Amino acid sequence: MAEWAAQAAAHGGWDAAGVRRRDAWLALLGAACDTPETCPQAMLPSRAALAAHRDEGQVALDVKRSFSMYDVHDRERRRVQLHAVVCGTLRRYPALHYYQGFHDLASVVLLTLSGDEGEGVWPDDRTATTAQLAVDCIALHVVRDAMAANLEPVLGQLKIVRKVLRAADLPYALALERAFMPSQMVVALSWVLTLLTHEIADVHSAQCILDYVFTHGPGSILYISAVLLLQHKEAVADAAHGEIEAMDMAQLHHTLAKVPPLDTDASRHEVLAAADALQRAYPLACPAVHAPRILASCSVLFTETPHMSTDARALEIAALPASALVLDIEMTPQVPDVWAEKQSARVARVPRALVLRRLLPHLARRHPHPLFFLSSLSLLLGGSLLSVLLALRLPP
């Protein structure tokens, strides 16, 4: 596992290291089996024997548009496979909620695990079983937060992206937050939901990103997202022609949403190496990020693999309301500019000192009685305490 993780972030990725991606994915996702009968999960009822899931209508609509950006041999056959595995996962685990974009992720999984051979829908029963188990595992152990009843847990993940961005480049992060405020920085939403499979048109590049995420855990996509935002800094500055905060939100979103080309080994390595460095420098539990204060311990970020969370435990979590997964997803308050505050206080103190220096002699001449002098001084200073003391001291 550690070796695969290091190789996924290195130049050339798994291809240069000679890792057989299909076998590695099946092992990482707990879907490896010699025959369907040897897979314990395969003993669950088949999709046809289970009741339809409430979200299958949306699945059908998304499947019709699937594989359009990939050069595939038999697109309609792939769509039948995709509909089968996505609906299979939803029927077997009805507590999960489908979201648009899950089909993009499942599409890359199918293209990786299932070849074009054979005349039927699937090359063989084993391929159908392993593909189903892999998609099940991704739903339960990689993107489970996104399959809650609403997107509150994912908004928590976006808040973590902002915290990582603050740790890496505070001025830039705050400028982006002010530009998007009061809205969430939703430009990274699709990246997090689909693990970038919706944005990347090249299957091999998408596979390399998933190699990294599967070996570094679900939280790694948050660091990749932070890196992509950092890489847009110069483009945002050029488009802003001044202050980022003054940019139109639609223009800013358009600029940030352009994922840089990841179709070369050099470009992928630059992003993944930077994400790896960020994840090492600012892990989820570090004081700068404090992810455990944003999402609960049952978040997929903290129960990330089948080795750490069994399917039974994952199902218990999936049945929880989305609110049980979140602790604090509100916008983080802006970091105060301490230097500016000190300067403002200093500027505010100087005029008052000058006023007092010039008016005290004048007040003393106009009000020789000490009590009237203090009363005038109280009004000048705006101090209610002096007024109360004077009221107690003056005779009726």
Note the pLDDT tens digit of each residue in 51-64: 999 999 999 999 99
Q: Which of residues 273 and 247 earns the better pLDDT score? A: 273
Over 90: is that where the pLDDT of 209 sits?
Answer: yes
| Local structure of residue 46 (DSSP, 8 states) | P
Q: Which of residues 329 and 310 earns the better pLDDT score? A: 329
pLDDT at 184: 76
Alpha-carbon gap, residue 377 to 352, rounded angstroms: 12
Mean pLDDT of 324-352: 57
Q: Which of residues 50 and 356 earns the better pLDDT score? A: 50
Mean pLDDT of 127-156: 95
Question: Where are the alpha helices (H) located in 93-219, listed in sequence order?
Answer: 102-113, 125-141, 152-168, 170-180, 189-194, 203-216
| CA proximity to 270, closest of 207, 208, 190 | 208
- Note whether 217 and 285 are within 8 A (CB): no
Q: Which of residues 196 and 356 earns the better pLDDT score? A: 196
> Phi and psi dihedrals of 30, rounded to 5?
65, 30
| CA proximity to 154, closest of 89, 86, 219 | 219
- Among 20-24, 128-132, 273-277, 338-342, which is the least confidently predicted range? 338-342
> Phi and psi dihedrals of 187, rounded to 5?
-60, -30
> 257 exposed, middle or buried (CB, 10 Å; 0-12, 13-18, 19+)?
middle
Which tokens sit at 313?
A: 């435990």
Q: Which of residues 379 and 330 earns the better pLDDT score? A: 330
Mean pLDDT of 187-201: 95
Mean pLDDT of 180-206: 90
User: What percent of the chain is modeled with pLDDT above 90?
Assistant: 57
- Note whether 292 and 284 are within 8 A (CB): yes
Q: What is the pTM of this model?
A: 0.81
pLDDT at 306: 54
User: What percent of the chain is modeled with pLDDT above 70?
Assistant: 79
Alpha-carbon gap, residue 59 to 52, rounded angstroms: 12
pLDDT at 309: 57
Sequence-ordered strand ranges (E) for 200-323: none
pLDDT at 185: 79
Q: How confident is the model at residue 253 (pLDDT cuts 50, 70, 90)?
A: confident
Mean pLDDT of 8-36: 88
> 300 exposed, middle or buried (CB, 10 Å; 0-12, 13-18, 19+)?
buried
- Residue-averaged pLDDT of the chain: 83
Query: How distant, in Å, are the alpha carbons of 46, 49, 235, 307, 323 from that of 93?
Result: 12, 13, 43, 19, 20
pLDDT at 373: 45
- Among 124-133, 280-289, 318-327, which is the least confidently predicted range? 124-133
- Note whether 66 and 82 are within 8 A (CB): yes
| Local structure of residue 149 (DSSP, 8 states) | S
Q: From the CA atom positions of the chain, what is the Rg in Å?
A: 29
pLDDT at 358: 45
How many residues comprise the chain? 396
Cβ neighbours for 278, distance < 8 A, ≥ 6 positions apart:
164, 168, 223, 226, 227
CA dihedral 180, 184, 185, 188 (to 10 degrees): -160
- Among 92-101, 245-254, 316-325, which is the least confidently predicted range? 245-254
Over 80: is that where the pLDDT of 293 sits?
Answer: yes
Query: How distant, in Å, are the alpha carbons of 157, 360, 381 from that of 390?
Result: 57, 18, 14
- Note whether 156 and 222 are within 8 A (CB): no
Mean pLDDT of 232-246: 81
Q: How confident is the model at residue 388 (pLDDT cuts 50, 70, 90)?
A: very low
| CA proximity to 188, closest of 147, 217, 231 | 231
pLDDT at 205: 96
Alpha-carbon gap, residue 157 to 259, rounded angstroms: 19
Alpha carbon 61 to its chain centroid, in Å, reads 26
